[in-house]
């Protein structure tokens, strides 16, 4: 398709298998977090939520970014997202 471009529409954050064998799932409008210990799962959920909030503050959304742009964005802005 000429003119089409890949876009990011959702983030899937995966945790390790939980030692307590509980399956944890959290969903936001643009992300899904799966598994992990209670602490790890909360960290994944919090990071995704903060990322969405930060993108909104920059007048951006996930679908404004290609996968490559999201990768570069995360490499350069993760600290700002977590500690504004």
Strand ranges for the chain from DSSP E: 11-14, 25-27, 31-34
Q: Calculate helix-pair angle for 38-57, 67-82, nearest 10 degrees.
A: 100
Return the half-sphere exposure (C-beta side, CA atoms, 13 A cut-off) of residue 22.
Answer: 10
Q: Where are the domains of the chain?
A: 11-82
Q: What pTM does this model have?
A: 0.76
**3 half-sphere exposure, CB direction, 13 A CA radius:** 0
> For the chain (length 84 residues), average pLDDT per consecutive 10?
70 92 94 94 91 89 88 80 62
Nearest alpha carbon to residue 29 among 5, 52, 54: 52
pLDDT for 84:
55
């Amino acid at each position: 398709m000429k003119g089409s471009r890949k876009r990011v529409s959702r983030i899937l954050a995966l945790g390790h298998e939980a030692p307590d064998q509980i399956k944890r799932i959290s969903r936001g409008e643009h992300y899904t977090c799966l598994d992990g210990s209670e602490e790890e799962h909360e960290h994944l959920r919090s990071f995704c939520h903060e990322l969405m909030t930060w993108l909104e503050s920059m007048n951006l959304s996930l679908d404004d970014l290609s996968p490559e742009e999201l990768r570069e964005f995360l490499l350069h802005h993760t600290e700002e997202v977590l500690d504004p």
